[in-house]
Amino acid sequence: MANEQATKAQRVDAFKVAFITASTIFIMGYVNALALHTNQLAAMVTPQTGNVVWMGLNPAFGEWSRFLSNLALFFSFVFGCGFSFLNRNLFKNRTSQFFFGWALFALPVALFPFYTAYINSHVAFFAMGLSAGFGVGFFRQMYHLDINNAMATGSVRFLGVTFADAFVKKNKKEAFSLLIFSICVFVFALGAFLFGIMWSLDNPNAYGTVGNIASFTNLNPEAVGLSSFVNITLIVICILPCLCAPKNNVG
């Protein structure tokens, strides 16, 4: 009986880790869609490849303000990753450790609609970079697989790798990994999809068609108010994963 209870507790704990990781991926997808189509940011805030490219291009074009935003995003992301690595075991209590990490990751995101009108774009990029760095550092493991939860690039890469292992090299054990990485890509895209739906609900008459992709040109989610579907949904999806906070007496 004791062994059965321990096994059940381990399964529950593994599910919570997977759900929390998937939640960070989902939130990242949602936030990137929000940032990309928010006038103050107008760029994705977690993929560093594009950001580094613009770090090189913007000075060449004399876009020094944008270059400062690139630097703010770059250094805050690096700092967030390093800080979370150094403090990944700050608390012996697993519940306390979870809420410490989740607060650092989720608060800059969930509160973005409240402070965005009072800060400039450089500070906004810095806050989003910190959030992404903390998210990568604290929550990127799903069923013992190291998941890139801040962007889909790593997961897409592993789609090819695990597919080759599973179906070319006939390593059937990798079929499960292929499934997990497929889910990661889908969940990231699903977060962006939910943002599109919520913005459409806030702006049902945009361009005469709900969900018309052309309507995403120059949209400004914060302009519709704090009680918008976009902003309320953002807060909800940042709070829900807290229901799966790990218990200190598990593991």
- The backbone region for 170, taken as left when phi is positive above 0, alpha when psi lies in -120 to 50, beta otherwise, is left
Minimum mean pLDDT range among 3-7, 56-60, 131-135: 3-7
Q: What is the DSSP letter of 221?
A: G
Q: How far apart are CA 33 and CA 80, in angstroms?
A: 21
Task: Let me know if residue 20 belongs to a domain.
Answer: yes
Mean pLDDT throughout 127-144?
88
Q: Highest mean pLDDT: which of 42-51, 81-90, 133-142, 208-217?
A: 81-90
Per-residue pLDDT of 222-240, as tens digits, reads 445 667 888 899 999 999 9
**Per-residue pLDDT band at 217 (split at 50, 70, 90):** very low
Task: Let me know if residue 28 belongs to a domain.
Answer: yes
Asked whether residue 210 carries a pLDDT value surpassing 50, the answer given is no
Q: How far apart are CA 215 and CA 75, in angstroms?
A: 33
Q: Which two tokens stand for residue 18?
A: 């997977």
Task: Let me know if residue 41 belongs to a domain.
Answer: yes
Task: Let me know if residue 170 belongs to a domain.
Answer: no
Q: Which two tokens stand for residue 97?
A: 């450790």
Task: Let me know if residue 155 belongs to a domain.
Answer: no
Domain count within the chain: 1
Quote the pLDDT of residue 3. 62
> Other C-beta atoms within 10 Å of 96: how many?
13
Task: Let me know if residue 45 belongs to a domain.
Answer: yes
Per-residue pLDDT of 174-203, as tens digits, reads 899 899 989 999 999 999 999 989 988 887
**Alpha carbons within 13 A on the beta-carbon side of 244:** 19
Minimum mean pLDDT range among 57-66, 83-92, 95-104, 218-227: 218-227
Domain at 63, CATH number: 1.20.1250
Q: Which residue has the higher pLDDT, 211 or 118?
A: 118
Residue tagged 């906070």 (tokens): 245
Percent of the chain with pLDDT over 70: 87
Whole-model pTM? 0.86
> Please, what is the angle between helix 48-60 and helix 64-86, to 10°?
150
Q: What is the DSSP letter of 188?
A: H
Q: Which domain holds residue 131?
A: 2-149+183-244
Quote the pLDDT of residue 149. 82
Quote the pLDDT of residue 114. 81
Task: Let me know if residue 29 belongs to a domain.
Answer: yes
Q: Which two tokens stand for residue 66?
A: 């944008």
184, 155 Cβ separation under 8 angstroms? yes
DSSP 93-120: SHHHHHHHHHHHHHHHHHTHHHHGGGS-
Q: How far apart are CA 90 and CA 60, in angstroms?
A: 43
Mean pLDDT throughout 125-129?
92
Task: Let me know if residue 169 belongs to a domain.
Answer: no
**Per-chain mean pLDDT for the chain:** 84
Q: How far apart are CA 119 and CA 112, in angstroms?
A: 10
**Per-residue pLDDT band at 2 (split at 50, 70, 90):** low
